[in-house]
A = this chain, B = another copy of it.
């Protein structure tokens, strides 16, 4: 399950590179969104979107009218990057400031998913990626909605992760400076859910929102 093509080999700071699929998968699964890069008329475009992973397959979805999805579905090269920010690293020198992060870069080409069963499976995977437990409760897509949706599949053959963690790496000569050094941890968290005006009174807050992985602060 390891892949190492020259294209996907991390060049800068290779000591931060990880090619272990379990690590790559965990980063892909934790990130709520990805950034999709593609080339149009020779110019790069980078668009944020939601993804979902099913084993070795990464799924994207969106409107059938989306230019990005239409072009990607033709099999042009794509780069999908996800980034989790873990902290700001404060060194004594401006030069050694850094970020702690976990990122994944996936290179490849996309295929459009045309099989109805795989389409539904992909939509379930994306939904369960964002909010595990939600799919069983909501109204599933009908034929009209499926026709309005384009779904793309990208393999994870060319994927690499890059990770920085830990404190600042100051120059020895700077360590005695009277400057605070360390890590300022950052984290994406979910706040208390806000129901809209149409939730029937007998419908309480679902357990899967109460215990979502982003509810680290416990303000249920």
Contact = CB atoms under 8 A, between A and B. Distances in A.
Contacts of A22: none
Given A45-B105, A94-B135, A200 B186 contact: no
Interface string A119-155: 0000100010011001101111100010011000000
A73 interface: no
A209 B181 CA distance: 11
A15 interface: no
A103 B48 contact: yes
Interface residues of A, number: 96
Tallying the copies of this chain within the complex gives 2
A47 B90 contact: no
Contacts of A53: none
B77 A43 contact: yes
B44 A37 contact: yes
16 contacts: A11-B67, A32-B85, A33-B85, A35-B35, A35-B37, A37-B44, A37-B46, A44-B77, A94-B135, A94-B140, A97-B130, A180-B199, A181-B196, A183-B194, A184-B190, A186-B190
